Chains A and B, each alone.
Chain A
């Protein structure tokens, strides 16, 4: 089985749930989800990874170095929002 490689990864230790990445994302991949471990009571989560086009807008706009987007061309293996294992190479 291939190594798990999601298109966009949110580092939850650094994320402060400001919502800027959610605003800039053109494909609505990210979403604020209720969580307990930050001050704002929510956390940015990757909800629809299969929609990600790897434009990196969220990565450059994130003020807290919390988002990493994989380069275009790298093969991806991840679980999508419906729970299916997906392999993508683009």
Chain B
């Protein structure tokens, strides 16, 4: 059945404030569709976000929402999850928000393997604050604070999350919204830290500085830059340079979940 978005959105807040064609809306829609397919109730979901374009998403959805400090979405979500282990806690965050300003919080939440779903809207730039380069801005591309091209090598969120200890890592893009929805659905139902790296288009701040000012053109570029996991296995390292491998990159169900471990500790202490 078709998804009735009005059940999950605060319709009086629409239209969305994002620029025409912004990928944030596509990712938000993918998340809402995934929640609809899982059949979760609005009151069971807690959505947390920091500061940024993508983090405005909490204003539009009709769940329990909290809009916190810049980069501090993950610690707030961790606290909520510890207080309400039955609640589904989702963090909707941008690339600068979660890997630069909140980078430390992010890796430690991964290390603890707490049951959060972190959706990282990876649009390669700080969109809201004026186009500063982020740790995910591709090397060689321009940003307002890097007018001659970025010289920084960038993060690979998937490897970072995997190395830090997250138990579900997936990547997809706005060019494949159906696949993105499936990964978000799997991430939401996964018990443990799940990180979904959703490549998105910022044709205003990143695109205009790099000759991709049109949303359709930029979505095409993203489609060009992504390769599936199966295809990447057959490609050499040189061919994979600058490409993004999509798919479920890591899944581990054996590692203990943090709230579960805490509950066991409490029970053990009470029985002593």
Residues of A within 8 A of B (CB): 13-14, 16-20, 22-23, 39-40, 59-65, 68-71
Contacts and interface: CB of A to CB of B under 8 A. Distances in A.
Interface in B10-24: 14-16, 18-24
Given A16-B19, A63-B29, 7 more contacts: A13-B14, A19-B214, A39-B20, A63-B26, A63-B174, A64-B25, A65-B9
Contact of A23 (B20, B24, B219): B219
Contacts of B14: 13-14, 65
B149 interface: no
Interface in B181-225: 181, 214-216, 219-220
A64 to B, nearest CB: 5
29 contacts: A13-B14, A14-B14, A14-B16, A16-B20, A18-B21, A20-B215, A23-B216, A59-B2, A60-B26, A60-B33, A60-B181, A61-B177, A62-B25, A62-B29, A63-B16, A63-B21, A63-B22, A63-B24, A63-B29, A63-B174, A64-B15, A64-B16, A65-B5, A65-B9, A65-B29, A68-B2, A70-B2, A71-B1, A71-B2
A18 B30 CA distance: 18
A40 B214 CA distance: 12
Given A60-B33, A65-B14, A20 B2 contact: no
B15 A14 contact: yes
Contacts of A23: 216, 219-220
A64 B18 CA distance: 8
A13 B24 CA distance: 19
Contacts of B9: 65
Interface of B: 1-2, 5, 9, 14-16, 18-26, 29-30, 33, 174, 177-178, 181, 214-216, 219-220
A27 to B, nearest CB: 17
A7 to B, nearest CB: 12
Nearest to A63: B25
Given A60-B30, A60-B177, A20 B15 contact: no
